[in-house]
């Protein structure tokens, strides 16, 4: 039997970036703002997210920086421009956490819980049992499970 998701049960929305907010580039990285393309329809739902959730957090692995394929300053610029576009349409992102580590054992690299734990330090009101993780990979689903969140695969 399919479970019915009641959004009123959740206060915090955790989102993966690549494949959820922007179009995933298979076997490549988003290395510039010119390569960043919003997923179809995502900008339409950000205002609804902003109304519904107390906190909206992005958690994203960005190994391309650690590999030297792009600069961290470029990643930050991409995120700043993404936030501007989301804010323009009445949406919001409260904070973006990213991991540039190349080692899968890094405590901050999803599926490990480091970025979520850092969000909890920065926003003590976050209750993982009242949080949703939306992602496009098994790694995202495991990240949510590792923190006791409900996870949704898109």
Q: Which residues have a catalytic role annotated?
A: 16, 18
The SS3 of residue 61 is strand
The SS3 of residue 34 is helix
Would you give the distance in Å from CA 78 to the centre of its chain? 14
Please list, residue by residue across 102-139, b when 16 or more beta carbons sit within 10 angstroms of its beta carbon and e when fewer do.
eeeebebbbbbbbbbbbbbeeeeebebeebbbbbbbeb
The SS3 of residue 33 is helix
């Amino acid at each position: 039997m399919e479970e019915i998701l009641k959004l009123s049960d959740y206060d915090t929305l955790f989102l993966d970036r690549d494949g959820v907010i922007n179009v995933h580039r298979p076997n490549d990285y988003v290395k510039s703002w010119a390569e960043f393309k919003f997923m179809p329809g995502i900008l339409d739902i950000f205002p609804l997210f902003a109304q519904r959730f107390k906190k909206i957090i992005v958690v994203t692995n960005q190994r391309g920086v650690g590999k030297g394929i792009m600069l961290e300053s470029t990643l930050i610029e991409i995120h700043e421009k993404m936030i501007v576009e989301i804010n323009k349409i009445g949406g919001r992102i409260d904070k973006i956490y990213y991991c540039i580590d190349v080692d899968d054992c890094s405590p901050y690299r999803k599926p490990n819980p480091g970025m979520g734990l850092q969000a909890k330090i920065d926003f003590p009101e976050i209750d993982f049992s009242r949080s949703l993780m939306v992602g496009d990979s098994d790694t995202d689903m495991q990240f949510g499970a590792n923190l006791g969140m409900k996870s949704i695969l898109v």
